[in-house]
Amino acid sequence: IPFLFISSAFAGDAEIKAAQTVIDNQLKAFVANDGARAYSFAAPNVKRVFPTVDAFMNMVTNGYAPVRKPQSYSFGKVEQTGPTSIIQQVMIVGPDGKDYEAVYTLEQQPDGSFQITGCSLRASTSLST
């Protein structure tokens, strides 16, 4: 019988839930002004660009105000893009009361945990009525 590798162990509800928990925990840390905790969810590629908590928090504060101080947020579409990669859409109401869409990329680390490798943010037009 030939050996078939089936990666159904990944992209199950548990992995998606784990990835969402990481985003949720980071957003809660931002709201609580806990920079060290927020930074702990950043993947090594992010930490290379922003090697200190202060540098990371300054980048988020200046470039990602809706992520830094969300009024509310909810998870949208999720997609597995590779055996260890997840893209998660997050709908955010920013501090200005406007709707934003944040698209997070997460990568599973060697220890099995997920960390955030990137986030792109744009004003959302699809939610406005």
Per-residue model confidence (pLDDT) at position 124: 84
Average pLDDT over residues 31-43: 98
What is the strand order of the sheet 114-123 is part of? 72-82, 85-93, 99-108, 114-123
84-102: per-residue pLDDT in tens? 999 999 999 999 999 999 9
Contact 66, 121 (CB under 8 A): yes
42 CB-contact burial (10 Å; exposed 0-12 / middle 13-18 / buried 19+): buried
Residues 30 and 69: beta-carbon distance below 8 Å: yes
pTM across the whole model: 0.87
pLDDT(11) > 60: no
Dihedral through CA 105, CA 111, CA 112, CA 115, nearest 10?
A: -20
